[in-house]
Each structure stands twice: as structure tokens, then as C-alpha cells.
Amino acid sequence: PLGELPLPRDLGAVLLRLLASPTIADKEWVYRQYDHMVQLNTVFLPGADAALLRIKGSRRGLAVTLDGNSLYTRLDPGKGARIAVAEACRNLACVGARPIGLTNCLNFGDPEKPAVMGQFERAVAGLAEACRTFGIPVTGGNVSFYNDTGGLSIHPTPVMGVVGLVEDVRKAVRPGFRAAGDAVVLIGESLGEVGGTEYLKVIHGLEAGDPPVIDLEREKRNQELLLEAIEAGLIRSAHDLAEGGLAVALAECSFHAEPRIGCAVDLDGGLRADALLFGESQSRILATCRRAKLARLLELAAARGVPAAAIGRAGGRDIAVKRKGREVLRVPVETAFRAWKDGLPAFFEPKI
């Protein structure tokens, strides 16, 4: 239980450690090694929630994303697979795309072990359920078994590649804050779920607990709201909440801003501060809009039955978070950016 874990005294230091962890750190160290501008169709470069390619001769575009979470799947194979599909579709929605097809790479250990075959069976069932909910076909994929070393199997790792369609690439949105003063809006509910999270793994050394609840119908409803709001011109930026929770999402939105800017938010609720900041409740999206359009966005969310709340504004040089008016985290954007940017090279440098 969360109550048995000590609450870290410096939540800013926790954020920096999470940003530098291999799961969350910037992946440019990998993707800069190949040419992502081949054929000159790239609208959004790698690093956004989804890459975006134009379709020549039209205003349409194809958005592409890859997602997976092996820890969730080890703890609950069916839920882990459902979350992988849901997060991939959420990433597409964050650029303004609707999913149209899915491929997969299902990586597991020795299937001759009943436990591994049981993981595989439950993961495939979860994958199928999620695809039915989102109405997308599995166009292909592959299964990789016998990923064992010294008798130990890898974590079950279903990876989802999903393609989505953007009707007009001119309306597509990016994850970074657009301008100081824009309202920061949290779509979805924060339930303080820390089972299977990066926070629990990196800070407390635990790979345990129940992964976050995933309600696929709620997920689809939240994504539909976002897509409708983007189409209506209400959204200036959007970014999904995943590993690292709200605090990491706020930081990433700051990093993707041009130029980089911070934010100031004030959160409600009775959750413990670490669960509020680093819990990984599903179906959440961080969006920004102009202050003049905030009321329309919140009215649309209420009409669609989707929880949404204005939690602060973009601007400043710090990532600053208050809880019921009391500051619980403040980190300079540039300090956080360096932790995130240097995390992966620092992790691999001693090993290669």
C-alpha cells in the first residue's frame, strides 16, 4: 500500500530522476541515427506523441506511433496489452488523428513454460478487446518467443504500432506549450494509482502492485472529446499522460515548447502529493488553449461527460506545482531539460 512507503522530501529531485530514467528520457540519441526526412513528407518530426506524414496531393496525413509497457504486462498481461493499445490510440488523438490500423510485435519468453503461455494468452485477449473497442483491424505483426537467458524469461512485452488518419494536417497539434498565458487543462481523472509505475520502480525499487485501471469506453470517450475540440480549433497543444504521470507530462510539454517555457499549476484533491504528481492513471490528456476559449472547451467536455479542469497556465522559467495552494514542486525548466536530454546517453555510455 502507498501509505507504507515514505513520502520523498524533495519531489523536484524525484522528477529529475524520473526524467533521466531510460524509459522516460529523450530518445533522440536513438532516432537521430536514421534519416526521418526521406521523401520529404514529414510534417511532425520524431519526438512528438506521434510522427506525422503528409499524403501528397491532399490535406490528409498519416500519424504513426509505437507503444508498450512491459512492466504493466508482467503484472497483469491482459491489462498491459489493453493499456498499450489505448495509449497508442491516445497518442494519435493528441496530434488530431483517428486510428485506422494496428500491427504488433509480441515478445515473450519460453512458451513451453505454462506461465509464459498463460501470459501470452491473456495479452492476446486484451489486445483483441481493445481493438474491438477502438474499431481497428490488426493488419499484421509477429510473435517472438524463447526470449530467455539463463532460464529467465524477459518481461512479456507486447509493442503496438498504430497508424491514424488526420483529415487536415493544418489542424494537427503538437505536445509543446504554445505561448505564455495559455490555460493548461487536464482531461480525465487522477486516481493516484502507483502500482507498476516508473515512480515505484525508480524511486522505491519496486516492480509491484496492480497496474492502473483501464476503462476502454471511457478512454474512447476522452479521445473523441479531444478530437472534436481539435477540429473545432479549441486546442493549441495536447500530450498524453503515461509513464511518470502528470509531473513528467508537464515537463515534457515545457521541453517541446519553442522556445522552452515553464508552467504554474495548482491541483485539488485529497491524494498524497507523490501519487498526485507521479501516479499513472489512464485516459488522461494535458491540453492547452487560449484563455478566451477555455470556457467553450470546458462546456464541450461537460456536454460529452468527460472530466476536464483548468489547472494552471503556461509561462515562466520553472515547472511549478501547488497542491491546494501550497507549493510541492518547483524545478527550473533548463535543469529538468538537461536531465531528460542527457539521460539515455548517460545510461548507455558506460556500457558501449
Cell triple for residue 301?
Answer: 467536455
DSSP 270: S
Count CB-CB contacts under 10 A for residue 165.
16
State the pLDDT confidence band at 3, using cuts at 50, 70 and 90: confident
CATH number of 49-171: 3.30.1330.10
CA distances (Å), origin 138, targets 66, 106, 141, 219: 14, 13, 8, 19
Residue 65 above 80 pLDDT? yes
pLDDT number for residue 340: 98
Phi and psi based region of residue 314 (left: phi greater than 0; alpha: psi -120 to 50; beta: remaining)? beta
Q: What is the pLDDT of residues 226-256, one digit of tens each?
A: 999 999 999 999 999 999 999 999 999 999 9
The rounded distance, in Å, linking the Cα atoms of 189 and 182 is 21
Count CB-CB contacts under 10 A for residue 132.
10
Q: What is the pLDDT of residues 166-203, one digit of tens each?
A: 999 999 999 999 999 999 999 999 999 999 999 999 99
Q: Which residue has the higher pLDDT, 329 or 351?
A: 329
pLDDT number for residue 1: 65
CATH number of 2-24+174-351: 3.90.650.10
For residue 246, the SS3 value is: helix
pLDDT number for residue 352: 57
Residue 214 above 70 pLDDT? yes
**pLDDT cut 70: percent of the chain above it:** 99
Burial per residue of 133-142, b for 16 or more beta-carbon CB atoms within 10 angstroms, e otherwise? bbebeeeeee
Residue 279 contacts residue 324 (beta carbons within 8 Å):
no
Residue 2 above 80 pLDDT? no
Nearest Cα neighbor of 154 from 103, 119, 203, 124 is 119
pLDDT number for residue 35: 81
pLDDT number for residue 39: 80
Residue 350 above 80 pLDDT? no
**pLDDT cut 90: percent of the chain above it:** 90
H or E element: which one contains 273?
helix 273-278
Residue 79 contacts residue 274 (beta carbons within 8 Å):
no
pTM: 0.96
Domain boundaries, the chain: 2-24+174-351, 49-171
Q: Which residue has the higher pLDDT, 35 or 156?
A: 156
For residue 200, the SS3 value is: helix
The whole-number average pLDDT for the span 109-136 is 97
Peptide bond into 259 cis (omega under 30): yes
For residue 314, the SS3 value is: strand
Mean pLDDT of all residues in the chain?
95
pLDDT number for residue 40: 82
Roughly what angle, to the nearest 10 degrees, separates helices 333-348 and 245-256?
A: 100
Cβ contacts of 61 within 8 Å, gap of 6 or more: 43, 52, 53, 54, 55, 97, 165, 166, 169, 172
The rounded distance, in Å, linking the Cα atoms of 217 and 300 is 18
The rounded distance, in Å, linking the Cα atoms of 62 and 302 is 30
Residue 100 above 80 pLDDT? yes
DSSP 112-181: TSHHHHHHHHHHHHHHHHHHHHHT--EEEEEEE---EETTEEPPPEEEEEEEEEES-GGG--BSS--STT
3-state secondary structure 48-83: ECCEEEECCCCCCEEEEEEECCHHHHHHCHHHHHHH
Residue 215 above 70 pLDDT? yes
